[in-house]
Amino acid sequence: MATKQKSVARDKLLRMREGLVAEPIIDNPALKPMPDAPESPRRIGGRILLMDAGARVPSGQGSKMKPVPSKMPTETGRPKQDQANAVAEPAESPGSVRLRLRIDRGQVTVVGARSVPGTAPVPERLDYGLAYEIVNGTRRVAVGSIPDVGTQRSFPDPKGRQGMEGHHLAELQSFEINVRLPQHEISEAALPKLRVTLYRMKGQPSVAPITSAPLFEQLPDQLRPVAELRGIDLNLLPTAVRGELRKAIKAPRKTRQR
């Protein structure tokens, strides 16, 4: 009987491997059905033996699992800090100050100031237009050029009337410009020593790179001084402009991540 049952089970297994549909498995009516309830514990030597919950594990056969650490170690063995509370090392943040100047019949006044990110540009050559040079005491701290500013351009008369041919350029008596200098070069103590000189170009500037020498010494035949700001007195500035300038000067130059 047992041999016949093994043969039948082997035939079923072979048919399943061949991809055929296997017959459903049903209880053998000749065997005792398996009850749903768990079996009662079997007696060993007439007694029921249960595992002692307080028994200790013999040495060398196991150990108690260590508790999970609250902070997982990093590759260096140190726990990782919470990213939300991580504080980065102070790092220099390059910045610059942009001064808004008004030129009115040769007089220069400060009408605004703002701190801007990034270092002040240091051009190799000047573009045609208005050039500026900023000196702190005896040391130049910024130089640049502003094309198409301080001039008014008129177009030819479309009817070709006499005297109105070609383009006409006229210098404006009043206009505003922005100049930029490094933030670390300006402070309240340095404001009285700050000097901004503006030049009008007579023609196309030289293609030679500019040097550290004063602009007027390099291009005496191409530059014409038009205005100069000799020092900045905070007490003489309007209240709003004074606050803008102080804020721009004292803007944080170090960044910290929290």
For residue range 195-242, list pLDDT tens digits in order: 999 999 888 888 889 998 999 999 999 999 999 999 999 999 999 999
pLDDT given at position 195? 96
Residues 117-167: tens digit of each pLDDT: 988 888 999 988 899 999 998 899 999 999 877 555 555 666 666 665 655
CA separation for the pair 228, 251 (Å, rounded): 26
Position 228, amino acid: E
Residues 92-113: tens digit of each pLDDT: 567 999 999 999 988 999 999 9
**Residue 257 pLDDT class (50, 70, 90 cuts):** very low
- Would residue 26 count as lying in a domain? no
Q: How far apart are the first and last CA of the chain?
A: 80
pLDDT given at position 214? 92
- Would residue 101 count as lying in a domain? yes
Q: Over range 167-188, report the average pLDDT.
A: 83
Q: What is the signed CA dihedral for 77, 78, 84, 89, rounded to 10 degrees?
A: -120
Mean pLDDT of all residues in the chain?
A: 76
pLDDT given at position 79? 47
- Would residue 257 count as lying in a domain? no
pLDDT given at position 258? 46
- The secondary structure of residue 255, as a DSSP letter, is E
pLDDT given at position 33? 67
* Percent of the chain whose predicted confidence (pLDDT) is above 70: 53
Give the CA distances from residue 214 to residues 15, 102, 140, 230, 250, in Å, rounded to whole numbers and listed in that order.
100, 23, 8, 16, 29
Q: Over range 24-53, report the average pLDDT.
A: 63
**Length of the chain in residues, anyone?**
258
pLDDT given at position 94? 75
pLDDT given at position 22? 52
Cβ neighbours of residue 185 closer than 8 Å, sequence gap 6 or more: 136, 141, 142
Query: Domain containing 183: what range?
Result: 91-251
- Would residue 212 count as lying in a domain? yes
- Would residue 180 count as lying in a domain? yes
Q: What is the pTM of this model?
A: 0.57
pLDDT given at position 90? 46
- Would residue 156 count as lying in a domain? yes
CA separation for the pair 134, 182 (Å, rounded): 11
pLDDT given at position 190? 93
- Would residue 104 count as lying in a domain? yes
- Would residue 5 count as lying in a domain? no
Cβ neighbours of residue 102 closer than 8 Å, sequence gap 6 or more: 108, 109, 111, 174, 175, 176
Q: Tokens 């205005």 label which residue?
A: 227
Q: Over range 42-52, report the average pLDDT.
A: 62
Number of domains in the chain: 1
